[in-house]
Structure 1
Amino acid sequence: MSEKVFNRIKAVLAEKQKSNKWLAETLGMNINTVSKWCTNKIQPTVETLFAIAEVLEVEAGELLVKRRKD
């Protein structure tokens, strides 16, 4: 059984009508790095996660996917 992978950074960017390029420029990061975050190839550091949350005007916890054990 395959588990669906969600990417909250990508989802919040879409909700805020912002692009990967905008996020990269705002954070002073490489667009390729942001793209890798949005495709789950790499994860941002905790410090960067808080910076992302700040520029997107959300709580850092909103950028994390919660896993439930049933």
Structure 2
Amino acid sequence: MIKKYNKIKSVLAEQEKTSIWLAEQIGKDKSTVSRWCTNDMQPSIETLFLIAKTLEISPKELLTE
């Protein structure tokens, strides 16, 4: 079972946005963003803050407890 560290996928769904949209906004490859959404890999802290800024939320809202 994959440990879920981020909630990027659910936040995108709540905001009715796609991983492709996010990839375009932050200048990352869509396959990289897809892997973050499935928790196969995690974004760096700097990128996490950039994602939060792009989505207009707190970085804490992107992380699981």
Q: TM-score, normalised by structure 2?
A: 0.91
2-side partners of 1:47 and 1:3: how far apart? 23
2-side partners of 1:52 and 1:28: how far apart? 11
Aligned to 1:23: 22
Deviates more, 1:7-16 or 1:26-35: 7-16
2-side partners of 1:59 and 1:38: how far apart? 17
- Number of corresponding residues: 65
- In the alignment, structure 1 segments of 5+ residues that lack a partner are none
- Larger RCO (CA under 8 A, 6+ residues apart): 2
Q: TM-score, normalised by structure 1?
A: 0.85
1-side partners of 2:2 and 2:50: how far apart? 28
Per-residue CA deviation, residues 5-33 of structure 1 (Å, 9 max, x unaligned), is: 47410000000000000000000100000
RMSD: 1.8
Correspondences of 1:1-70 after superposition (within 5 Å):
5=4, 7-66=6-65
Question: Following TM superposition, where does structure 1 have runs of at least 4 consecutive aligned residues deviating by more than 2 angstroms?
Answer: 2-7
- In the alignment, structure 2 segments of 5+ residues that lack a partner are none
Report which of the two structures shows the higher radius of gyration computed on alpha carbons.
1
